[in-house]
Structure 1
Amino acid sequence: MAVRVLFVTPTWHTHFFNLVPLAWSLQTAGHDVRVACEPELVDTVTRSGLTAVPVGSDEPIRDRARRAEEDGTLPPLDMGRLAGALGGATSTAPKPSGSGGQAGGAIGDPRAKLSWEDMVWLYETVAVPRGQDRERHAVRRPGGVQPVVAAPARRLGRPHPRGPVAAGAVGAAHARVTFTVDLSFQLRSGFLWTMAQQPPERRRDPLAEWLGSWTEKFGYEYSETLVNAHATIDQFPPSFGGDYGASHLNLRYVPYNGPAVIPDWLNEPPPAPRVLMTLGVSMSDWQELQVMSIERVQEVLDSVAGLDMELVLTLPTAFREKLDRVPRNTRIVEFAPFHAVLPTCAAMIHHGGAGTFYNALLAGTPQLLITKVPDALHKRAYLAETGAGLSIPPDEVTGPKVRESLARLLDDPSFRAGAERIRREVLDQPTPNGLVPELERLAARHGPA
């Protein structure tokens, strides 16, 4: 029987891209699939061939966040503190059974446990205010589409209430799709465990209070299902993070990078080992996520100019024009379809974004990670443990360090062997088509009678 499926996506188009193949599979299986998104993402959704349902403010999320930071309603995001706090939070609670000792991606990198004050800070300063700013105008009782399976995507430590609140309002099944090691589940487990150790007068739960205010509007009570869902869909190989819930569904990552055209240069064999370098989001946006200034990019290009390789660097035209020189072994492009380019590459340098990391794992490409994303500790530890790559903290990046690390990736075959082991593990996971029957059963168990 056909069911109605509502995907709820973060506003960043690259995070939506990670949902597209699963949405396609449900749609081609005969189900009615819609994507709830903010207006600025509508064109991105419809270009993927899916049906968009715009909700929320017409003001772009970047402008809304900047305005909220300026007027004090949204505390500035300290990415360094957030990364450290999430690392600590995920090692606070006992590891769930069945995790195989790998919970949280904590593969041999010890992290201090968080205090109760730090735990409360994570929810009060990071999760709830930022969620409130995004969702203030975005949650409404579903109309027209009654979701039977609501699949909200989660960003790290920051809940998106639209999907779970809508699912609860109509009695629908609710699944989460993670973008990395399940920090949301671990953070919540750690918080509840730590709260239970506090005297009763000190116990408070900002997340439950916030989500409870939404469920009250729609006539039902808050439960932990809003946070942890009926099932979690995980696109990373099991070695990355382990099992964090009773209903943990593995899914093979299938790349979708938006509309793509194969460039002419990709039809020819590379003249030397090819290296792809990408810095992710536009260097003019979200400065807290930038890993290199344009001056540092120039230093890196100068330092690797003598290596026997072809460097393909994705860089917006406005920033390319700020470079003083481009070495002969470097090709600068505005965009590169990762799923087509990476199989031709000997290595990749990147900023640690979810889609970029997924693509490199799938292609079996050794990685040099230069990242300040919240799950940086986990990704760096994973590459070190599996031998699939190297990393440099952004504040330690220099041209010579990048050259040294890149030369190791190109010269030492063990990195390719480590990356290939992960690739085989990725390919062993169920495809989106293979997961559809499980989601149909989930809808039957938890959806409307």
Structure 2
Amino acid sequence: MRILIAVAPLTAHLYPSVPLAWALQSAGHEVRVASNTGLVEQITAAGLTAVGLGERTAPPAPITDEELDRFSDALGFEAGSGFDQLFRATRYYLVAAYKRYHPDEEGRQELADTLVEFARNWQPDLVIWDPACPVGPVAARECGAASARMMWGPDYFGWVRRRLLARMNDPASAVSADTDPLAATLAPVFGRFGHDFSDDLLFGDFTVDPLPAQLPRPEGLRSVPMRWVPYTGAAPVPRWLSQPPSRPRVCLSLGVTGRTVSAGRDERVAAVLEAVAGMDVEVVATVNTDQLGEDRKVPDNVRLVDYLPLTQVMPTCSAIIHHGGFGTFFAAAAHRVPQMIVMEELGSALSSTRYLEARGAGVALPGDGLTAAQVGGELSRLLSEPSFQRGAAAVYADMTAAPGPGEMVPILERMAAQYRTRD
């Protein structure tokens, strides 16, 4: 069987699919992973065959206030409502992601055209695609392959669609198929290849869902649960890491993708460094010089590492402080490590923090206005109160209840045969 995996150009979107790609490849299937040229090196570093799609010939058109107003009106958002997080997700995950695949002013769209052309020529049996790469289902349809979404976090895409449909069915709402902002945003992507917007294209034949069953998700979508197996990159193990820590080791990580999305000095780093300066702990901080800021004093008990795969350091840690991304969350959960999430506006932090606190596996603090006193007090609790270890064990049990990537192979083989339209 041939499997094409299409990923938006973000590390946090690639890494969750790597263990599944390994499993399919190890079972004898041909696997290709397609993304922007900038991600090709990371794909090949993972031992996978990359398909470089190139880069946009021009930057995506900016998101306009008019577009956001259309979504806000259609979804029924009001300032200060409980939908604020979903509105931010709509802007950053849906609109921004989809516009990356819109044609430029001269009608060119290298990313979409290259992916579809490759699928037509290579003829995969199954296309597994990142929901932030909306040309993935088009490629599947163009070659008659089965079409599967691969989630990497909360299904904002499904929640937005379900709310829009509910509003369309509400007689008191002015939303209709003609004013559907989601269909309008995807029209340049789907229409480029002669396809009309439909839920079949938006969601594919089924969804591979690596989030534990205890996390909320939209109802009514066909999904296949899979265990999240952490992959956080590859690098030689440093010599110091092979020695057991002499005191509790704490990891600080604010994510790889965040370095490019919100580059520059991060005040959360300053708060953590100040907090741990007087504590009897060893801190491994995977932050770069930009996040650290100029002239920042680093305490003697802090080891700065620009990059270190979390799967290497987590087995030696007693706690982790991070931004709430699910890649980091599950890297820690796989080793039953209690967590402190310092939330940020973007990312999956709202979902991960609710789950973390509900299971008693850690604490959450707002990233804005974070103080050293807050960090120090909560970190002391994580390291001293046994309830957090029990909560971390509960998250691990949730996480490991679903089939692993190897167990997914026969499932995907059956589903590819069921949904493939090409003989």
- What TM-score do you get using the length of structure 2 for normalisation? 0.85
Deviation at 1:113, TM superposition (A): 5.6
1:183-202 deviation per Cα after TM superposition (whole angstroms, max 9, x unaligned): 22122111111122156864
Give aligned pairs, total.
Answer: 402
1:421 and 2:394 correspond:
yes
* Correspondent of 2:35 among 28, 34, 37: 37
1:189 and 2:187 correspond:
no
The question of whether the paired residues in 2 share the 8 Å contact of 1:35 and 1:52 is answered with yes
Q: For 1:348 and 1:49, how far apart are their aligned partners in 2? A: 28
* Correspondent of 2:332 among 360, 365, 371: 360
Q: 1:58 to 1:219 in 2, by over 3 A?
A: closer
Q: How does 1:5-24 map to 2 (within 5 A)?
A: 5-24=3-22
The question of whether the paired residues in 2 share the 8 Å contact of 1:274 and 1:344 is answered with yes
Q: For 1:407 and 1:250, how far apart are their aligned partners in 2? A: 36
Report the AA paired with residue 26 of structure 1.
Answer: L
1:34-81 deviation per Cα after TM superposition (whole angstroms, max 9, x unaligned): 11111111111112121111224266xxx936xx5xxxx3349xxxx9
Is 214-223 or 412-421 further displaced after alignment?
Answer: 214-223
Q: 1:442 to 1:8 in 2, by over 3 A?
A: same
1:255 and 2:253 correspond:
no
* Correspondent of 1:209 among 166, 175, 184: 184
Q: What does residue 353 of structure 2 align with?
A: 380
Question: Counterpart of 2:214 in 1: which secondary structure?
Answer: helix
The question of whether the paired residues in 1 share the 8 Å contact of 2:7 and 2:130 is answered with yes
1:90-125 deviation per Cα after TM superposition (whole angstroms, max 9, x unaligned): 999xxxxxxxxxxxxxxxxx97368xxx97x97689
Q: How does 1:296-335 map to 2 (within 5 A)?
A: 296-317=268-289, 322-335=294-307
Q: How does 1:285-304 map to 2 (within 5 A)?
A: 285-287=260-262, 293-294=265-266, 296-304=268-276
Q: What does residue 107 of structure 1 align with?
A: none
Q: 1:55 to 1:170 in 2, by over 3 A?
A: same
Question: Counterpart of 1:307 in 2: which secondary structure?
Answer: coil
Q: How does 1:125-136 map to 2 (within 5 A)?
A: 127-128=94-95, 130-136=97-103
Q: What does residue 104 of structure 1 align with?
A: none
Q: What does residue 74 of structure 1 align with?
A: 63
Gaps of 5+ in 2: 104-108
How large is the RMSD of aligned CA atoms in angstroms?
A: 3.2
Q: What does residue 310 of structure 2 align with?
A: 338
Question: Counterpart of 1:240 in 2: which secondary structure?
Answer: coil
Report the AA paired with residue 51 of structure 2.
Answer: V
The question of whether the paired residues in 2 share the 8 Å contact of 1:10 and 1:153 is answered with yes
Gaps of 5+ in 1: 93-109
Question: Counterpart of 2:4 in 1: which secondary structure?
Answer: strand
* Correspondent of 1:27 among 25, 28, 32: 25
Question: Counterpart of 2:215 in 1: which secondary structure?
Answer: helix
Q: How does 1:270-285 map to 2 (within 5 A)?
A: 270-281=245-256, 285=260
- What TM-score do you get using the length of structure 1 for normalisation? 0.81
1:290-343 deviation per Cα after TM superposition (whole angstroms, max 9, x unaligned): 7xx455533431222121211111122455572442222211112222112112
Deviation at 1:178, TM superposition (A): 1.0
Q: What does residue 4 of structure 1 align with?
A: 2
Q: What does residue 380 of structure 2 align with?
A: 407
Is 352-361 or 381-390 further displaced after alignment?
Answer: 352-361
Q: For 2:21 and 2:308, how far apart are their aligned partners in 1? A: 24
The question of whether the paired residues in 2 share the 8 Å contact of 1:349 and 1:367 is answered with yes
Q: For 2:395 and 2:56, how far apart are their aligned partners in 1? A: 41
Q: For 2:376 and 2:91, how far apart are their aligned partners in 1? A: 41
1:140-199 deviation per Cα after TM superposition (whole angstroms, max 9, x unaligned): 233322222111113xxxx42111111122222111111123222122111111122156
Q: What does residue 112 of structure 1 align with?
A: 82
Question: Counterpart of 2:402 in 1: which secondary structure?
Answer: coil
Deviation at 1:352, TM superposition (A): 1.5
